[in-house]
Amino acid sequence: MVTTTEEEEATVHEPVDQPPAGIVTLRDIVRFAASRFNEAGLHFGHGTDNAIDEAAALALHALSLPPELPDLYWGSRLTRRERIAVMALVRRRIEERIPLPYLTGEIHFAGLPFHVDRRVLIPRSPIAELIEAGFGPWLEPAAVERILEIGTGSGCIAIACAYAFPEAHIDAVDNCSAALEVAALNRHRHGLQQRVDLICSDLFEAVPEGAAYQLIVSNPPYVDAAAMAALPPEYHHEPHAALAAGADGLDVVRRLLAEAPRRLSHDGLLVIEVGDSERALQAAFPGLPAVWVEFERGGHGVFVIPGEDLHAWAH
């Protein structure tokens, strides 16, 4: 005669999206989901870096609860409908390997909320830390009047810059019209229609002529061919064109460096992220006067070049 435990019995008779019996509180379901995430070998890196934080974020979203939940509520008992709602997202996260922000439709960048979906790369750039610091010590926020972002995607960098530089006008460029639709949603969400212009352009091609920019910032595609082939499944939900950048990851960066001197003011600053292609950049441009940024909150592969140095190098 075959017998089953209470948990096994519950698993047999409950719907697919229902956790086993005994999973009754918010704390229980987060622990259960985190265990399943670890068992499935999920990759974290789109907003969280571990299974527990990922499970907590997913559960709080499903229950329409704030991220900073008081400890008192973690012991709250969930209704059957609430458990099913959480487990539906847990199942999709495991079976489809969809990154967390695409499941929730939301992510925070530089302390600000943004909508994201599969039309855009998920914001995770360490440039957020530079924005929060006003790109100091290289720039004085009050002196910045025009900012250009190349490859805006969701618009997060451009919009965060609008907060950091309240007197500046920002041109945000992307060559993907679908991405610009998402950027427009976020621009409206933050009420910045008058200060952030969205431009469909291949790098500088359609950027308006006129006065030079005091800040040009870009998080372009920079993943090399070998790294693209080795990416975890989660990254394949993101737009391929927003990641892949040729054999050495520098296809776009080469064009940025060639064209930026004509658009950057002498007292301005060029900021580019190249991630793991940092060594390739140093090998390809040994004389480039790049200053590599050290981040307090983690991250690497971001360099800055003051305008005077960029113009001297270009000539």
> Where is pLDDT greater, at 20 or 273?
273
Is 231 in contact with 276 (CB distance < 8 Å)? Answer: no
Q: What is the pLDDT of residue 11?
A: 40
Q: Average of pLDDT values for 306-312?
A: 97
Span 61-94, pLDDT tens digits: 999 999 889 988 999 999 999 999 999 999 999 9
Taking the C-alpha atoms of residue 25 and residue 74, their distance in angstroms, rounded to an integer, is 7
Q: Is the pLDDT of residue 96 over 60?
A: yes
What is the average pLDDT score of the chain? 92
Q: Is the pLDDT of residue 116 over 90?
A: yes
Q: Average of pLDDT values for 128-134?
A: 97
Q: Rounded to the nearest 5 degrees, what angle is found at the Cα of 120, between the Cα atoms of 302 and 125?
A: 20
Q: What is the pLDDT of residue 20?
A: 75
Q: What is the pLDDT of residue 2?
A: 35
Q: Is the pLDDT of residue 8 over 50?
A: no
Domain-wise residue ranges, the chain: 6-104, 107-314
Q: Rounded to the nearest 5 degrees, what angle is found at the Cα of 135, between the Cα atoms of 179 and 175?
A: 20
Residue 36 tokens read as 């399943």
Q: Is domain 107-314 given the CATH code 3.40.630.20 in the classification?
A: no
Q: What is the pLDDT of residue 211?
A: 77
Q: What b/e sequence results for 1-24 when a residue is b if at least 16 CB atoms lie within 10 Å of its CB, and e otherwise? A: eeeeeeeeebeeebeeebbbeebe
Span 163-215, pLDDT tens digits: 999 999 999 999 999 999 999 999 999 999 999 999 999 999 999 888 799 99
Helix axes 26-40, 80-95, angle to 10 degrees: 20
Q: Is the pLDDT of residue 103 over 80?
A: yes
